Amino acid sequence: MNQDSAVRLAAFNWLSEMTRIHGDVLPRRVLQEGFSFGTERIPLIAPQGIFKPRILEIPLSITTTPHGPYDDSFRDGFLRYRYRGRDIHHRDNVGLRKAMQKEIPLVYFHGVVPGKYLAVWPVFVTGDDPGNLVFQVAVDDFSTAKRILDGQPVVEENPAIRRAYITSNVRVRLHQRSFREKVLAAYRSQCAHCRLRHTELLDAAHIIPDSDPLGEARVDNGLSLCRLHHAAYDSFLLTINPDYVVEVRKDVLDEIDGPMLQHGLKEMHNVRIILPHAQVQRPNRELLELRHQQFRNAGEARLTA
């Protein structure tokens, strides 16, 4: 295995370990610090979107930053990644072109909120469109990248089908993780009901589910809830009215049980939730009213059952 392949494989293995420690959304400081390869320090990210450590001749990673200058987007099952600038012969653009020609795997970092990135690997540059200043990028499975890095032949009739499928699944994951990180950031990483601050126990709950046409993945259709209150919200044990006040279902209020029911649910009744500081991030009152009506309907159905 040559040095380029060895560095890339080490980067992939290091990212696997980092996601076990930090989860699949990684802090920028961790990526900037990188890992040791012999006597070299290998960072994985830099201010420029197309990044090549000095030890390599071809880029190691590409990055989309939140609110960045480039409109990278998914289209037709693949990522359209913008050139650096408008010069098709810029060394960074030439580097990605070489990665495409030599079928060299890279890492893609998708910024979900400032300072946090979802790492996706391996990705391959599969197309080049100089007229529109974009590369086509596809996600692939690790086993294929490992065979390529090991110098083993990879013979397939149509790898684009597999890559399009994998890329579409990653797109959904990016969508979900981006929603979660934005909602938790808006609520300052705490449950809107009980103020629990352990992020590993927090979810981004939809006011209107994403299966509904109105259930867009916007912060104003989201709530930061702990696992208990998320489950209770989804099960219509409690709701939040358009005045941002919690209502617990009457039969739950009347129920006698242990301390979890008493302190975890019943004492939330008539409590005003914690709200984001920014007005535009606060729960949409019309969506809360729709959900509140569903809550009332569920309660009435339970009484007549």
- Tens of pLDDT along 66-123? 766 555 687 777 899 999 999 999 999 999 999 999 999 999 999 988 899 999 999 9
Instruction: Give the Cα-Cα-Cα angle 213, 216, 220 (nearest 5 degrees).
Output: 130
Backbone angles phi, psi at 81, to 5 degrees: -105, 125
> CB 221: neighbour CB atoms within 10 A?
24
Cα distances (angstroms) measured from residue 177 to each of 25, 131, 168, 171: 8, 32, 14, 10
> What is the structure's pLDDT at 72?
64
- Tell me the per-residue pLDDT of 39-58, one tens digit each, with 9 for 90 and over: 999 999 999 899 999 999 99
Q: What's the whole-model pTM score?
A: 0.81
Cis amide bond preceding 122, omega within 30: yes
**Answer CATH for 3-183 from 3.40.630, 2.60.40, 2.30.280, 1.10.10:** 2.30.280
Q: Are 195 and 274 in contact (CB under 8 A)?
A: yes
Q: Which helix (H) or strand (E) holds 14?
A: helix 3-22
pLDDT value at residue 65: 85
| CATH 2.30.280 residue window(s) in the chain | 3-183
Which of these, 131, 51, 136, 129, lies nearest to 91 by C-alpha position? 51
Give the model's pLDDT for residue 213: 84
Cβ–Cβ < 8 Å for 227, 201: yes
Using CA atoms, how far residue 10 sits from 31, 121, 182, in Å, is 14, 12, 31
| pLDDT for the residue numbered 305 | 59
What residue type is assigned to position 157 of the chain?
A: E
Q: Report, as ranges of residue numbers, the positions in the chain whose pLDDT lies below 50.
A: none
Structure confidence at residue 174 (pLDDT): 87
